[in-house]
Structure 1
Amino acid sequence: MGCSSSVAKAPDEGNGSPVPSRKVASSDDADRCAGDLPPMLLTDAQRNSFKRSRGKVRRTSEATVALEGGVQADFDANWIGLATTHGIDLYSELEDPEFVKINQDRGMVVWPFAGSYGSAMLGLFDGHGQGGERVAEQCCYLMTDLLAKDLQLPTNPMVSLEEKMCQLDELVLKFSSDDCDPYMCGTTATIVYLLGVNVYVAAVGDSRCVLGYIDRAGLLQSHEMTRDHKPSMKGERERLEAAGATVEGVGDRSRMWALHEESDSLCGLNMSRSIGDGFCKQHGVIPVPDVQSFSLHECSPGSNMRDTFLIVASDGIWECVSSDEACGIVRASSGAQLACQALLERAQKGWERKTAAYRDDITVIVVFLPFLHPEWDLQLAKEMEEEQAAATPLSARNSQCGSPRGSIGQGTQGRIDINVGETGMAKLKHDEVPANLRNYAAQASLMEFRRNSELAASFKRSSNEKRRQTAAPQVGRAHKTAQNL
């Protein structure tokens, strides 16, 4: 797919890679942790929807979630949760009175996946740049379709996830519209594929997936299944600089910069891998994901159905909440949707403590494991076979060749449910912002403008110096050649 990197061998079914552990906190508080989650049941609505529909796309906006009391339609909120909220950008509002903050995050839960209740897919896309929300939402549908149709996904998931992530990037870069140019905007991408007892995670950017579980000693463990692709990371910095980019800062505050010569402007990105961002792809940014896997056999003692869970979230969470703290919050919650809401509220308070003038978009998915039910496929197939037999005259059944199961299998393929954190817009009313806060934001915005201007001037001087150094040997060689002639 035009992208290459070493890929670890996929584990055999039931034998995932060992999960490194980090002790977080004791879990001997019986009142807080006791009791299993209510068992998930196949509802009549799910049963009928599975039988009648080859594919279904459901958009869930912030307003819809609020009307439903925070419960995601069709999903058991004890086991599966998704919450999202837009950010705040007072700096931009001061610069442009017409500015409205758009939620560029998109989160999705796809289950059943590819026609089976025995597999599922989670996705988190955090868009950036003008039109980034369109790229993020487009990725929800494109990635679901790419993976659902990939025949090698169940047998070779790690290779498949890497290849499809790169193919996703190619498809996104081909798309352009008046309000969305993937050459100058893009998104992170974190994909979680669940199959049986195995979980596979592929990610580019800084939207993180964290595994939380109770070990056999009764301690809560936290393990980051992804790494944040920051420009200053070892290996990332070298690749970016070799492609002509400049890396500024370290860690979470690092950023890659490149000069867009046509507009004589400086373009930056605070990650080293992404989907889209065509201009930055010319300067060392790549779409190749890190891919990891683990097996529930490695981490779950099986004593309590709340002992293992996944958190997938945009950096709006991770800027203010550590992986350890996030796992503690989920563990203390009585269900997945309530855990999402608690994480969202904790992150909002964290942003308020950091700066009242800005808050990033926040999207979080929480699922307790295992929530897959492969046995439901057999149950539904049997029901459909019985219904078809009852509806078909005996003479017609006798004339048919083979079992009706073949047609049933075709009918159950491609069943897709998607929850998309639909775009939400925010604009603070004038009387909601105290005068001292507006003054603070104006000063901070001016300082940021000056700093970026100085950085752009420095970058241009550095680029011109490099060009002179590169051109000097070439001029010398040309002069020698002329003398020899």
Structure 2
Amino acid sequence: MGHFSSMFNGLARTFSIKRVKNNNGNSDAKEAADDMAKDAKKKELILKSSGYVNAQGSNNSASIFSKRGEKGVNQDCALVWEGFGCQEDMIFCGIFDGHGPWGHYVSKHVRNSMPSSLLCNWQNILAQATLDLEGSNKKLSRFDIWKQSYLKTCATVDQELEHHRKIDAYYSGSTSLTIVRQGDVIYVANVGDSRAVLATVSDEESLVAVQLTLDFKPNLPQEEERILGCQGRVFCLEDEPGVHRVWQPDAKTPGLAMSRAFGDYCIKDYGLVSVPEVTQRHISTKDHFIILASDGIWDVISNQEAVEIVSSTAERPKAAKRLVEQAVRAWKKKRRGISMDDMSVVCLFLHSSSSSSLSQHATTFK
């Protein structure tokens, strides 16, 4: 109990500046979270473009790279926030993959809204849980707090997007794959078909890939059951065998190749949801790094290949870019005649360079 109380008290001091002025509850917490984001951006702790983040004294570092495919504007985007919520032991990472005519606007809106909203909800739920447990012997679960925070955040972001005056998300949407590292635990929240893969040392002392997320495709049994139960349809087109898509009951639209996403309100009544799957994992010294990538990478690169590409990159800042470059080569070789997808990668390194075989140089890709 003492650990969580001190955690809350430290965060509460940061939020209290806004609450001294008035007592508007959630609106104040949201404003404070937005101010934290602005301050972090000034201190170069938030990265939204291709580059590298490594705060002084932090065990975390992250490499980002995004490349436009051959289908038009790049609808992928990413974000890393080191020192998330002014907490030295926290980092937030995310990959957001848009689709549809307004997909690039949707993905950027989700990217920009989610971190502050998540921080606000985490603060409020943590505060309430701390108050509820005062004087009791119940064990406070950090996972339950993060899960509730993510569920509330995703519902809020999707609702805001539906009523956005400048973004038409009726036939457009975005996936979202995010990770929060807090000390020696990571919390993963997945909406869609981007994927997180962990590189860890096996009992045989080799570096192996462990997939941390499910690709939420419409033909997964639990996903298809929900869609069919809501009168939606799931089938492949004749010229795309093996590519299962979600369709409205009486029309050949929209043909969405994932079962969870923000936006896409044309089929929200027919089984598509924006509910995240939230999981946790305790980090050990055997865990080296985590790769977050949009589906364009995984269409042509296996989990193990991705781990080997990143681990063999001498400089951490170049890791994400090198993985994308290898995927571009694989697209040209394996998927000739098919327009290359947008591809984005975040490589989150879990230990300082002094305890890793990968060298580290702070640099930014232009």
Mark the CA change 1:352 to 1:185 in structure 2 (over 3 Å): closer, same or farther: same
Choose from 197, 202, 206 the match for 1:215: 202
Alignment check: 8 A CA contact 2:231 2:249 kept: no
2:54 touches 2:62 (CA, 8 Å); kept in 1?
no
Q: 1:202 to 1:88 in 2, by over 3 A?
A: same
CA distance in 2, matches of 1:251, 1:207: 21
Query: What amino acid is aligned across from residue 239 of structure 1 in structure 2?
Result: R
Q: CA deviation at 1:356?
A: 4.2
Please say if residues 176 and 182 of structure 1, whose CA atoms lie closer than 8 Å, have aligned partners that are also in contact: no
Please say which of residues 325-334 and 147-156 is displaced more in the overlay.
147-156
Whether 2:327 is the aligned partner of 1:351: answer no
Match of 2:75 in 1: 104
Look up the match of 2:52. 72
Cα gap change, 1:276/1:243 in structure 2, threshold over 3 Å: closer, same or farther?
A: same
Q: How has the CA–CA distance of structure 1 residues 119 and 232 changed in structure 2, closer, same or farther, with 3 Å as cutoff?
A: same
Does residue 334 of structure 1 match 2:314? yes
Give the aligned residue type for 2:265. Answer: G
The answer as to 2:342 corresponding to 1:366 is: no
Query: Does 1:314 find its partner at 2:314?
Result: no
Matched, 1:292 2:272: no
Paired residue type of 1:80: A
Cα deviation, residue 242, structure 1: 1.8
AA at the equivalent of 2:61: W
CA root-mean-square deviation: 3.1
- Matched-pair identity in %: 28
Count of aligned pairs: 296
CA deviation after TM superposition for structure 1 residue 235, in Å: 1.4
- Taking structure 2 as the reference length, the TM-score comes to 0.73
Distance 1:289 1:365 in 2: 19
Code of the aligned partner of 1:224: Q
Larger radius of gyration: 1
Q: CA deviation at 1:268?
A: 1.6
Given the alignment, which residue of 105, 116, 127 partners 1:134? 105
Supply the distance in 2 between the matched residues of 1:223 and 1:335 (Cα, whole angstroms): 22
Asked whether the 8 Å contact 2:289–2:347 carries over to 1, the reply is yes
User: What's the CA shift string for 1:148-177, capped at 9, x where partnerless?
Assistant: 222136942122222222222122212142
Among 251, 254, 257, which residue is 1:267 paired with?
254
1 or 2 for the larger relative contact order (CA 8 Å, sep ≥6)? 1
Select 1:226's aligned residue among 200, 207, 213.
213
Query: Alignment partner of 1:164: what SS?
Result: helix
Q: TM-score, normalised by structure 1?
A: 0.56
Distance 1:371 1:108, change over 3 A: farther
Separation of aligned partners in 2, 1:106 and 1:308: 24
Aligned partner of 1:278 in structure 2 is 265
| Structure 1, gaps ≥5 residues long | 1-11, 14-50, 66-70, 90-100, 302-306, 373-420, 423-485
Rounded Cα–Cα distance in structure 1 between residues aligned with 2:48 and 2:78: 11
Q: Which residue does 2:93 correspond to in 1?
A: 122
Query: Which residues of structure 2 form unaligned runs of 5+?
Result: 5-35, 127-140, 354-364
Match of 1:254 among 231, 244, 264: 244
Instruction: Determine the structure 1 residue equivalent to 2:360.
Output: none
Match of 2:153 among 164, 188, 205: 164
- Aligned equivalent of 2:132: none
Contact 2:218 2:258 in 1 (8 A): yes
Q: Which amino acid aligns with 2:110?
A: C
CA–CA separation in structure 2 for the residues paired with 1:329 and 1:275: 31
Q: CA–CA distance in 2 between the matches of 1:175 and 1:129?
A: 16
Which amino acid in structure 2 is aligned with residue 196 of structure 1?
G
Instruction: Return the alpha-carbon distance in structure 2 between the equivalents of residues 135 and 123 of structure 1.
Output: 14
**Aligned partners of 1:193 and 1:200 also within 8 Å:** yes
Shift, 1:314, TM fit? 0.3
Per-residue CA distance 1:75-116 (angstroms, 9 max, x = gap): 68x932000110013xxxxxxxxxxx1000011101111012
Task: Tell me which moved more, 162-171 or 124-133.
Answer: 162-171
Q: Contact 2:211–2:303 at 8 Å: present in 1 too?
A: yes
Contact kept? 1:192, 1:202, Cα under 8 Å? yes
Aligned 8 A contact 1:208 1:315 in 2: yes
The counterpart of 2:185, out of the listed 185, 194, 198, is 198
Q: Which amino acid aligns with 2:105?
A: R
* Distance of aligned partners of 1:269 and 1:176 in 2 relative to their CA distance in 1, 3 Å threshold: farther
Cα 1:265–1:213, aligned 2, differ >3 Å: closer, same or farther? Answer: closer
Q: CA deviation at 1:270?
A: 0.5
- Cα deviation, 1:375-427, whole Å, max 9, x if unaligned, reads xxxxxxxxxxxxxxxxxxxxxxxxxxxxxxxxxxxxxxxxxxxxxx99xxxxx
Task: Report the Cα distance in structure 2 between the residues aligned to 1:114 and 1:61, rounded to whole angstroms.
Answer: 17
**Native 8 Å contact 2:90 2:181 kept in 1:** yes
CA distance in 1, matches of 2:221, 2:324: 31
- Contact 2:48–2:80, Cα closer than 8 Å, also in 1: no
